[in-house]
């Protein structure tokens, strides 16, 4: 009868957890639905170069598109204002993708120096794209060098003053990155997008959603924008001042020129080098040498584990099987420690009645109680802390594995078997009223439950954790990428097999000779 009641409690708890996940996901969806905004195109004079007019522009200025492609990239430029609307990489593609968008919700080099009704004249030669505007007073050139075999872009801007007067603008702001806060993703994401500002070559990380007022950073060497899989990283030729300014639903990353002067019949040049590619450390490290990935213990553990995973993948070119093989390797490495841990826990479980008698006998004498317990542990060769040791050691491994896989671009679009079509996405098989049904987190919960049931428990109060812990992880990890959950499920199954065979071969309790 008690067994039936326990199973009913488990079923109720499981159903309640699913309901909580469903309700929470619906609340979040409604909370972050984009609000309706009316965007209007600004009408500009024939040729204007004034900071005052620029500061009034709060909506996206947009003209017709110009598309460029080579073997590695797809780019979309605005013909009237000359900024980059889209940078698409033709690698690491998901099913039915033409390209992998690196700047979703982000415009690059948005602010033009010249406002004019005329479109840019655009010429291409191999991987060089040149945009020019020539008016009666000004000549403006933007020349992009687009990579074919790596991820480094070059931009040269040239502005010539054809008038007979000097031009001077104070605190001129050039919007090198314009972020649409609605389009870049939900801020509760476990890898939120970040702005990275390099101040005297040291990185400062800023979450766009938390910027409520203007922020100014001086002595900047570079600025970047990173999301889960992509990184835009812009280098400056000299130390510069950067400002972050909220503009409605946009956040502008401005390059500030404290004194912008162009003498009559003279020109001014700017040169930029920027990385546009995956944010994955194992791709970007050859191009972005700055310390933006950290050197902490967990980060180093993640890098080491992914290096091993990558070596396995070279032999077995399927990331799903590589994750499973690495998981079993980890279990084999820790098998002696796990075996000793389970043995100590089993011994404590069998000696529980005797230990409880000792605790009752010496409950008013803590010193004598501790002494008697230590004598019993020594007599039966038991380590009371051995049960915690494998868990404590494996926590850094799991965290390292999580850090290695959570934004691994190599898993993007990588299929495994059966219903798992993309290891970088949840393994949703179907939806019920827009609620995703994911198989791996459910398997994780079931295997975690049985794993804890098989684990010897030295304290009866731990029984409730057998149900609570798996359900808690179900709630937290339900929409995590299937690659991470594949690791967890494999680890649980390997642990079940390990515990079963160890429990069948437990030695009899013997006193230490």
Least confident of 23-27, 64-68, 228-232, 258-262: 23-27
For 243-263, write each residue's pLDDT tens digit: 999 988 899 999 987 777 888
C-alpha span between 383 and 390 (Å, rounded) = 13
Phi first, then psi: what are they for 426, rounded to 5°?
-60, 150
Which token pair is 326? 């690495």
What pLDDT is stored for residue 404 in this prediction?
A: 82
C-alpha span between 458 and 456 (Å, rounded) = 7
Q: What is the pTM of this model?
A: 0.79
Sign of CA dihedral 76, 78, 83, 85: negative
Over residues 166-187, mean pLDDT: 79
What pLDDT is stored for residue 473 in this prediction?
A: 84
Over residues 390-417, mean pLDDT: 83
Over residues 6-18, mean pLDDT: 50
Over residues 297-321, mean pLDDT: 92
Would you say 131 and 142 are in contact if contact means Cβ atoms under 8 Å apart? yes
* Residue 285 predicted with pLDDT over 60: yes
Domains along the sequence of the chain with CATH: 47-292 (2.70.98.90), 298-504 (no CATH)
**CB neighbours of 461 closer than 8 A, spacing ≥ 6?**
none
Would you say 149 and 73 are in contact if contact means Cβ atoms under 8 Å apart? no
Enter the DSSP assignment of 496: H
Tokens 């040149």 belong to 130
Would you say 222 and 290 are in contact if contact means Cβ atoms under 8 Å apart? yes
With pLDDT > 90 as the criterion, what percentage of the chain qualifies? 39
**CB neighbours of 480 closer than 8 A, spacing ≥ 6?**
190, 426, 441
What pLDDT is stored for residue 5 in this prediction?
A: 46
Q: Which residue pairs from 303-308 have beta carbons closer than 8 angstroms and sit at least 24 positions apart in sequence?
A: 303/404, 304/400, 305/397, 305/400, 305/401, 305/404, 306/282, 306/404, 306/405, 306/408
71-85 in b/e form (b: 16+ CB < 10 A) is: ebbbbbbbbbbbbbb
Enter the DSSP assignment of 253: E
C-alpha span between 387 and 348 (Å, rounded) = 10
Would you say 327 and 496 are in contact if contact means Cβ atoms under 8 Å apart? no
pLDDT-based confidence at 223, cuts 50/70/90?
A: very high
Pairing of strands 121-125, 128-134: antiparallel
For 366-394, write each residue's pLDDT tens digit: 888 788 778 877 777 776 665 566 667 77
With pLDDT > 70 as the criterion, what percentage of the chain qualifies? 79
What pLDDT is stored for residue 461 in this prediction?
A: 54
The alpha helices in 316-383, defined as continuous H runs, are: 319-333, 335-350, 352-361, 366-379
Phi first, then psi: what are they for 143, rounded to 5°?
-120, 120
Task: Give the distance from CA 266 to its chain's centroid.
Answer: 46
C-alpha span between 424 and 481 (Å, rounded) = 5
Residue 262 burial by Cβ neighbours in a 10 Å radius (0-12, 13-18, 19+)? buried
C-alpha span between 225 and 447 (Å, rounded) = 39
For 322-334, write each residue's pLDDT tens digit: 999 999 998 888 8
C-alpha span between 349 and 198 (Å, rounded) = 56
What pLDDT is stored for residue 471 in this prediction?
A: 84
Residue that wins the pLDDT comparison between 462 and 139: 139
What pLDDT is stored for residue 53 in this prediction?
A: 34
Q: Which residues pair with 76 in a beta bridge?
A: 67, 86
Q: If you count them, how many residues does the chain have?
A: 513
pLDDT-based confidence at 225, cuts 50/70/90?
A: very high
CA 424 to each of CA 92, 93, 285, 408, 471: distance values in angstroms, whole numbers, following the listed order: 11, 11, 21, 8, 23
Pairing of strands 167-180, 428-432: unpaired
Query: Cα 189–190–194 angle (5° rounding)?
Result: 75
Angle between helices 465-477 and 2-31 (to 10 degrees): 20
What pLDDT is stored for residue 244 in this prediction?
A: 95
* Residue 190 predicted with pLDDT over 50: yes
* Residue 466 predicted with pLDDT over 60: yes
pLDDT-based confidence at 81, cuts 50/70/90?
A: confident
Least confident of 90-99, 145-154, 490-499: 490-499
Pairing of strands 115-116, 47-48: antiparallel
What pLDDT is stored for residue 337 in this prediction?
A: 78
C-alpha span between 401 and 298 (Å, rounded) = 9
* Residue 107 predicted with pLDDT over 70: yes
Q: Which residue pairs from 60-63 have beta carbons closer than 8 angstroms and sit at least 24 positions apart in sequence?
A: 60/107, 60/178, 63/119
- Count CA within 13 A, CB hemisphere, residue 400: 22
Helix, strand, or coil (residue 4): helix
What pLDDT is stored for residue 470 in this prediction?
A: 83
Over residues 106-134, mean pLDDT: 84
Over residues 303-313, mean pLDDT: 94
Would you say 70 and 127 are in contact if contact means Cβ atoms under 8 Å apart? yes
Average pLDDT in the chain: 80
* Residue 40 predicted with pLDDT over 80: no
Task: Give the distance from CA 293 to its chain's centroid.
Answer: 12
What pLDDT is stored for residue 176 in this prediction?
A: 92
Q: Among the ranges 160-164, 273-277, 343-347, 350-354, which has the highest mean pLDDT value?
A: 273-277
């Amino acid at each position: 009868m008690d067994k039936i009641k326990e199973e009913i409690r488990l079923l109720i708890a499981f159903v309640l957890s699913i309901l909580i996940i469903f309700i929470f996901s619906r609340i979040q969806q409604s909370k972050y639905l984009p609000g309706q905004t009316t965007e209007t195109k600004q009408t500009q004079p024939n040729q204007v170069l004034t900071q005052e007019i620029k500061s009034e522009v709060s909506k996206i200025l947009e003209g017709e598109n110009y598309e460029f492609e080579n073997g590695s990239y797809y780019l979309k430029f605005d013909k009237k204002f000359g900024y980059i609307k889209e940078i698409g990489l033709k690698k690491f593609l998901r099913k039915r993708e033409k390209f992998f968008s690196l700047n979703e919700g982000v415009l690059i080099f948005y602010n033009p120096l010249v406002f004019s009704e005329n479109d840019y004249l655009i010429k291409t030669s191999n991987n060089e794209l040149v945009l020019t505007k020539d008016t009666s007073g000004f000549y403006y050139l933007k020349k992009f060098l687009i990579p074919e075999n790596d991820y480094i872009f070059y931009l040269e801007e040239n502005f010539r003053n054809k008038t007979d007067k000097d031009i001077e603008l104070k605190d001129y702001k050039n919007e090198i990155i314009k972020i649409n806060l609605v389009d870049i993703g939900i801020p509760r994401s476990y890898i939120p997008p970040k702005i990275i500002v390099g101040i005297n070559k040291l990185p400062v990380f800023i979450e766009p959603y938390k910027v409520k007022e203007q922020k100014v950073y001086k002595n900047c060497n570079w600025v970047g924008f990173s999301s889960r899989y992509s990184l835009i990283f812009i280098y400056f030729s000299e130390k510069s001042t950067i400002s972050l300014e909220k503009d409605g639903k946009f956040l502008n990353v401005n390059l500030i020129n404290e004194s912008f002067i162009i003498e009559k019949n003279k020109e001014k040049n700017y040169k930029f080098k920027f990385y546009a590619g995956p944010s994955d450390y194992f791709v970007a490290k050859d191009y972005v040498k700055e310390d933006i990935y950290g050197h902490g213990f967990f980060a180093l553990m993640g890098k080491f584990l992914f290096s091993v995973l990558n070596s396995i993948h070279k032999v077995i070119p399927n990331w799903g099987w590589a994750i499973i093989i690495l998981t079993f390797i980890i279990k084999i490495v820790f098998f002696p420690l796990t075996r000793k841990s389970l043995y100590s826990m089993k011994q404590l479980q069998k000696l529980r009645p005797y230990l409880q008698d000792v605790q009752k006998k010496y409950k008013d004498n803590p010193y004598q109680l501790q002494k008697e317990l230590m004598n019993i542990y020594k007599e039966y060769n038991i380590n009371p802390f051995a049960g915690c040791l494998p868990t404590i050691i494996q926590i850094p491994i799991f965290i390292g594995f999580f850090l290695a896989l959570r934004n691994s671009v190599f898993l993007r679009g990588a299929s495994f078997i059966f219903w798992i079509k993309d290891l970088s996405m949840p393994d949703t098989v179907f939806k019920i009223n827009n609620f995703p049904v994911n198989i791996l987190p459910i398997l994780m919960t079931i295997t975690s439950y049985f794993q804890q049931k098989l684990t010897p428990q030295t304290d009866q109060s731990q029984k409730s954790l057998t149900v609570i812990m798996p359900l808690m992880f179900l709630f937290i990890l339900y929409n995590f990428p299937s690659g991470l959950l594949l690791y967890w499920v494999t680890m649980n199954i390997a642990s079940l097999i390990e515990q079963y065979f160890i429990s069948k071969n437990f030695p009899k309790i013997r006193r230490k000779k």
